[in-house]
Structure 1
């Protein structure tokens, strides 16, 4: 399947890393579809990726045939169901890869460590290592929460465009989980500004009474990811925050290296 004027056998090599160019282009199209919310038209893809329409059409036909993309009656394309199994497996492995780093975070801070992703409009916890304290925080892996009341939610959304954050909050609403929950878009946007200024996010009794949580983003992660430390507010004091945040930031850097795909072998 040719994908460029320089290739006639479907095995064009990328000039940058020796990979197969048609595969790189196909995965790039899938990622652009995900960025667009999962549904696009050919002209939209052409405008964003710069490939000719015939090339995009050939790639999309192949992805449809494999089940990774589905074409709607209106001729637009949506991400296909076969991606679900890949995503579920990747999520499980993500938690496995993260556990050693989270375990180290527990040893250094004494509190429960979590890792979370933004899945659609919700935060989903994908890994956890609990504290050794008898009084500790426990969040079930797979649990979903709204981002406005959590430190991980703030960390995940801190660098998103304001209009996207407002649209998300409009879709989910901002119900009060506690009397400390932020329930206005303006208040949440101000909290995101604090995250950008401080370098970490705080949930101060906003999701559960008596619980305080600190979170940071994992830099350079393939998907926006956050790690957090949570515990009883009586232990998660300001003095503890000064000690915990550097440990959180270091673990986030280490996780970034773990999650960054290695360069292809030659």
Structure 2
């Protein structure tokens, strides 16, 4: 009879190697995209010989690179995978964004956090002649936009501080947060109320209300934006629950 036990063991070993490989990539991402072998061992709990073997394979494939300081970082080959996955996410979300536009009458957006930047991956414009338009694929720093603040509010404070150190906090307008302590204090309010508001921080004359998508595989948020004169604070209070429902619906869609 064929030795099925051997095949089962071989299959189990292969699955375990895959699980460990992806776990290692995730731990590397959790560390801010760069870590030493010893740090990866502490983060993953994997034996040092296993980490050495997996890292060598990932480096040879281009999914991890070794820097001159002998620390390891996420490799450029992951960028293409991430960008395609984000765009697929955006395509799948468009029907829900269209429903949101029908309900609130303003432009709806979907954005994800990639490499310390917010990337817009989908948009459905409003039917108003005066409306907001953000090009899909546009990248901005998270401290100066509603979707970015909604995403940052869900992250541990220390991770937010590290991100802000890496990116800096340049002002997009006179209303943009440029002080880390002030922004972190503001993010506590965002968490409490369940949504973020961009008050002319990315562009003068534009207001945006954004909600993080709970349980998304990558940090993401959905938003509604429009001219400040039409998207008043009273309108924000009315629209925010609809944006929250859209974010929850996107979560449900991702789980199927």
Counterpart selection for 1:119 from 108, 114, 117: 114
Report the CA distance shift for 1:186/1:80 in structure 2 as closer, same or farther (over 3 A). closer
The normalised TM-score by structure 2 is 0.88
How many Å apart are 1:134 and its aligned residue?
0.5
Structure 2 match to 1:33: 28
Distance 1:175 1:82 in 2: 29
Render the CA deviation track for 1:93-126: whole Å, top value 9, x for unaligned. Answer: 1111111111111111110011112223322211
Query: Aligned residue pairs: how many?
Result: 251
Match for residue 195 of structure 1 among 169, 190, 198: 190
Greater Cα shift, 156-165 or 245-254: 156-165
Query: What is the match of residue 161 of structure 1?
Result: 156
Match of 2:204 in 1: 209
Return the match for 1:110 from 87, 105, 109: 105
**Does residue 234 of structure 2 align to residue 248 of structure 1?**
no
Q: How does 1:164-179 map to 2 (within 5 A)?
A: 164-179=159-174
Q: Which residue, out of 57, 65, 72, partners 1:70?
A: 65
Unaligned runs of 5+ in 1: 1-5, 14-18
Cα root mean square deviation, aligned? 2.3
Local SS of the residue matching 2:226: strand
State the 1:252 CA deviation. 0.5
Using the alignment, how far apart are the partners of 1:150 and 1:205 within structure 2? 9
Aligned to 2:128, the other structure's residue is in SS state coil
| CA deviations over 1:183-234 (Å, ceiling 9, x no partner) | 3223212221110110100012222122110001000011110110001112
